[in-house]
Amino acid sequence: MTIDNAKVLEQLKSEFSDAIVDDVDFRGDLTIIVSLEKLHDIMLYLHDDKTLHYDLLSDVVGIDKLPREPRFEVAYVLHSMDDFRRLLVKVMVSVDVEVPTVTDIWRSADWPEREVFDLLGISFSGHPDLRRILMWDDFDGHPLRKDFPLKGKDFDEKWDPDTIQVL
Q: Interface with another protein by CB under 8 A: which residues?
A: 26-27, 29, 31, 55-59, 61, 63-64, 75, 77, 79, 81, 84, 86, 88, 106-108, 110-112, 115, 119, 132-136, 143-144, 148, 150
70/4 Cα distance (integer angstroms) = 31
Q: Report, in Å, the least distance between residue 41 CB and another protein.
A: 19
Complex with another protein: residue 67 or 161, whichever CB lies closer: 67
Q: Report, in Å, the least distance between residue 61 CB and another protein.
A: 5
Q: Report, in Å, the least distance between residue 167 CB and another protein.
A: 26
Complex with another protein: residue 17 or 20, whichever CB lies closer: 20
92/79 Cα distance (integer angstroms) = 21
60, 74 in Cβ contact below 8 A? yes
Complex with another protein: residue 45 or 111, whichever CB lies closer: 111
Q: What H or E segment, with its residue span, contains residue 48?
A: helix 39-48
Under 8 Å CB-to-CB from 91, ≥6 apart: which residues?
33, 34, 35, 36, 39, 73, 74, 99
Q: Report, in Å, the least distance between residue 35 CB and another protein.
A: 19
Complex with another protein: residue 5 or 58, whichever CB lies closer: 58
Measure Cα distances from 92 to 4, 64, 99, 160, 161 in Å. 25, 10, 10, 43, 45
Complex with another protein: residue 5 or 167, whichever CB lies closer: 5
Largest CA distance in the chain: 74
